[in-house]
C-alpha cells in the first residue's frame, strides 16, 4: 500500500502522448534522487530501478560492511552485525545492497515526491506544446470554442491544448457559439511562467494570405505569388498578386469564374470585400491599380516624400476614396505612398481648413477622415450620402454646405 500513490502517478503519465519512455524514466529517477538526497544527504550509492509500464519501482542502497562501532557514515557504511541481519554470510569489506521501502522515506516525502513528479511532467509537456505551436506560428489552425469571455474567446484543440482568440484579433462581425469550430492563424506563442500562451488571430493580413494558399491551387503550388496583403478586417482588403508564367492570369485565377474561388474566403472573413490586383514594378501603374475600382486620369509621384498626387474625373473620386475612406487608405498601405486625390478640371477650389473661422475643427476632421478636404469635394456630394459616410448630423452638414456655397457665390 505504501507505494500506491506513486503507482497511480505512473498510471497517469505512462500513456502521455507528449512524453517518451526514456524521458519519463529520466524524470522519475530525477524526482526520486532528489527525495533520497533530502532523506539521506546523498544519492550516489543508490540504484533506482523503474518499470513505468507496470508502475512499480525498486530502490537499492549500496553500503560497505565495517566492523561494529566503526560506522562513520550511516548512508555509506553498515556495521557487521546489521549486515548479517540481512545475510548471515556477510564479512567486513564486502558490499551490501539493501532495498529501501518507500514508507522509509516518510509519508510527507512520498506526497512531496508525487507533487514534484506531476510538476516535472507538466513542465515537460508544456515545453513540448510550446515547441509544437512555435513551429506553427503563421499557419492556419482550427480549434473549438470552449469558453466565451468579454475580452477573449478560449479555444481547445483536439488534444485539449488551450488557445486564446482576443477580442482585438476577432473580425468585428464574428459571433461564436460554444462548441463551434473557429479558424485563424497562430499569431504568437510565448511561455508565461511554465505555461504556453498561444494567441490566435483572424484579423492579421497573414490569415488572408494563408486562406489564399488553402483555397487557390495555383497559390499553393507557387505558380502565383502573393506580393502584399493589407486589410481593414471585416470591411475591405487588397491583395497584390503576381505570376512568373505569362500564361497565367493571377487575378483571374484567384477570383475565379464569377468570383467562385474567392467566395469562400470572403464568407470566412465576414463578407470582407477583397480587391485582387496585379502587382507590377511600374509604380504609376501599381498606384493606379491599387485605387481600383476608380479610373485614374493621371498621377504625379514624389519618390523622396513618398507622396502621389492622383487626378480623377469628379465621378471617380468617391470610388477612389471608398466608403469610410477605406479604399484610399488601403491603397496607400499597399503601395507605401501617401495618396492625395484631386478632381480633373477643377481649377478653383478651397481647402476646407480655410473655413476654420466658420466651421469647427472637429467637423473639418470628420470630413477629412473620408477624404473630403476641399470645398468642392463636399459640394459635389448629396446630403444623404454625407450623412451615411460621416458621423455628422444632417443639420450640421447643411450648415457646412451653406457656408461653402456662400463662398463660391461670392
Reply yes or no on whether the pLDDT at 12 is more than 60: no
* Per-residue confidence band for 85, with pLDDT thresholds at 50, 70 and 90: confident
**Cβ proximity of 234 and 273 under 8 Å:** no
**Cβ proximity of 275 and 326 under 8 Å:** no
Joined together, the cell numbers standing for residue 184 give: 485563424
CA distance 311 to 316: 10
CATH of the domain at 150: 2.40.50.140
Do 308 and 398 belong to one domain? no
Do 288 and 223 belong to one domain? yes
* Per-residue confidence band for 125, with pLDDT thresholds at 50, 70 and 90: confident
> Where among 343, 362, 393 does a domain terminate?
343
pLDDT at position 5: 47
Q: Cell 487588397 identifies what position?
A: 238
> Where among 131, 161, 184 does a domain terminate?
131
Total domains, the chain? 4
pLDDT at position 169: 97
Average pLDDT, integer, range 165-187: 95
Closest C-alpha among 155, 188, 186, 153 to residue 167: 153
Cβ neighbour number for residue 138 with a 10 Å cutoff: 14
224-232: strand order across its sheet: 224-232, 236-243, 273-278
pLDDT digits 0-9 by tens, 256-280: 888 889 999 999 999 999 999 999 9
Do 181 and 246 belong to one domain? no
Do 68 and 126 belong to one domain? yes
pLDDT digits 0-9 by tens, 91-114: 888 888 888 777 666 667 667 777
Closest C-alpha among 165, 149, 167 to residue 157: 165
Residue 222, Cβ density class (10 Å: 0-12 exposed, 13-18 middle, ≥19 buried): exposed
Please tell me the least confidently modeled range out of 159-163, 273-277, 369-373.
369-373
Do 259 and 327 belong to one domain? yes
pLDDT at position 1: 36
Reply yes or no on whether the pLDDT at 250 is more than 70: yes
Do 59 and 42 belong to one domain? yes
Do 121 and 151 belong to one domain? no
| φ/ψ of residue 41, rounded to 5 | 90, -20
Contacts of 60 (CB under 8 A, 6+ apart): 46, 47, 48, 49, 97, 98, 99, 100
pLDDT digits 0-9 by tens, 320-355: 988 888 999 999 999 999 998 888 765 567 788 878
Please tell me the least confidently modeled range out of 45-49, 199-203, 310-314, 357-361.
45-49
**Cβ proximity of 272 and 233 under 8 Å:** yes
> Where among 131, 146, 169 does a domain terminate?
131
| Half-sphere exposure for 106 (CA within 13 Å, toward CB) | 8
Stated as kind and residue range, the H or E segment containing 53 is none
Closest C-alpha among 231, 226, 256 to residue 242: 226
Greater confidence (351 vs 234) lies with: 234
**Cβ proximity of 66 and 78 under 8 Å:** yes
* Per-residue confidence band for 55, with pLDDT thresholds at 50, 70 and 90: low
Do 178 and 240 belong to one domain? no
pLDDT at position 3: 46
Reply yes or no on whether the pLDDT at 235 is more than 50: yes
Do 114 and 222 belong to one domain? no
> 160: alpha, beta or left, given left = phi > 0 and alpha = psi -120 to 50?
left
Reply yes or no on whether the pLDDT at 4 is more than 60: no
Reply yes or no on whether the pLDDT at 201 is more than 90: yes
Q: Is 372 helix (H, G, I), strand (E, B) or coil?
A: coil
* Per-residue confidence band for 315, with pLDDT thresholds at 50, 70 and 90: confident
pTM, 2 dp: 0.65
**Cβ proximity of 56 and 14 under 8 Å:** no
Reply yes or no on whether the pLDDT at 2 is more than 60: no
* Per-residue confidence band for 287, with pLDDT thresholds at 50, 70 and 90: very high
Do 273 and 311 belong to one domain? yes
CA distance 366 to 389: 9
Domain range spanning residue 333?
A: 206-343
pLDDT at position 47: 83
Do 162 and 106 belong to one domain? no
CATH of the domain at 376: 1.10.150
pLDDT at position 379: 85
Do 98 and 121 belong to one domain? yes
Greater confidence (299 vs 19) lies with: 299
pLDDT at position 346: 55
Average pLDDT, integer, range 372-401: 85
Greater confidence (357 vs 270) lies with: 270
**Cβ proximity of 110 and 36 under 8 Å:** no
pLDDT at position 54: 62
Amino acid at each position: 500500500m505504501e507505494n500506491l500513490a506513486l503507482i497511480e502517478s505512473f498510471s497517469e503519465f505512462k500513456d502521455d502522448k507528449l512524453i517518451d519512455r526514456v524521458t519519463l524514466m529520466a524524470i522519475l529517477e530525477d524526482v526520486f534522487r532528489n527525495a533520497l538526497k533530502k532523506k539521506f544527504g546523498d544519492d550516489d550509492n543508490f540504484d533506482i530501478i523503474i518499470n513505468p509500464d507496470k508502475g512499480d519501482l525498486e530502490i537499492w542502497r549500496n553500503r560497505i560492511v565495517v566492523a561494529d562501532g566503526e560506522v562513520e557514515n550511516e548512508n555509506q557504511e553498515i556495521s557487521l552485525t546489521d549486515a548479517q541481519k540481512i545475510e548471515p554470510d556477510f564479512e567486513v569489506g564486502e558490499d551490501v545492497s539493501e532495498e529501501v521501502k518507500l514508507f522509509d522515506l516518510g509519508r510527507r516525502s512520498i506526497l512531496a515526491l508525487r507533487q514534484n513528479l506531476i510538476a516535472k511532467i507538466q513542465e515537460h509537456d508544456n515545453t513540448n506544446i510550446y515547441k509544437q505551436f512555435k513551429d506553427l506560428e503563421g499557419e492556419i489552425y482550427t480549434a473549438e470554442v470552449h469558453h466565451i469571455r468579454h475580452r477573449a474567446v478560449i479555444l481547445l484543440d483536439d488534444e485539449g491544448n488551450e488557445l486564446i482568440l482576443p477580442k482585438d484579433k476577432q473580425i468585428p462581425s464574428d459571433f461564436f457559439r460554444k462548441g463551434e469550430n473557429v479558424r485563424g492563424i497562430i499569431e504568437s506563442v510565448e511561455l508565461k511562467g511554465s505555461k504556453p500562451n498561444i494567441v490566435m488571430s483572424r484579423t492579421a493580413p497573414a490569415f488572408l494570405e494563408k486562406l489564399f494558399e488553402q483555397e487557390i491551387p495555383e497559390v499553393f503550388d507557387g505558380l502565383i505569388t502573393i506580393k502584399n496583403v493589407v486589410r481593414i478586417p471585416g470591411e475591405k482588403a487588397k491583395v497584390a498578386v503576381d505570376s512568373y508564367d505569362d500564361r497565367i492570369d493571377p487575378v483571374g485565377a484567384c477570383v475565379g469564374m464569377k468570383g467562385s474561388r474567392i467566395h469562400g474566403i470572403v464568407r470566412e472573413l465576414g463578407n470582407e470585400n477583397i480587391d485582387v490586383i496585379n502587382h507590377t514594378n511600374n509604380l504609376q501603374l501599381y498606384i493606379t491599380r491599387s485605387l481600383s475600382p476608380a479610373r485614374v486620369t493621371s498621377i504625379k509621384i514624389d519618390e523622396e516624400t513618398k507622396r502621389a498626387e492622383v487626378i480623377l474625373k469628379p465621378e471617380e473620386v468617391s470610388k477612389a476614396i471608398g466608403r469610410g475612406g477605406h479604399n484610399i487608405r488601403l491603397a496607400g498601405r499597399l503601395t507605401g505612398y501617401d495618396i492625395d486625390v484631386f478632381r480633373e478640371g477643377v481649377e478653383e477650389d478651397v481647402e476646407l481648413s480655410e473655413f476654420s473661422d466658420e466651421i469647427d475643427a472637429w467637423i473639418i476632421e470628420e470630413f477629412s477622415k473620408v477624404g473630403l478636404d476641399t470645398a468642392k469635394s463636399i459640394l459635389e456630394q448629396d446630403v444623404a450620402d454625407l450623412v451615411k459616410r460621416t458621423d455628422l448630423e444632417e443639420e450640421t452638414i447643411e450648415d457646412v454646405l451653406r457656408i461653402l456655397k456662400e463662398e463660391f457665390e461670392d
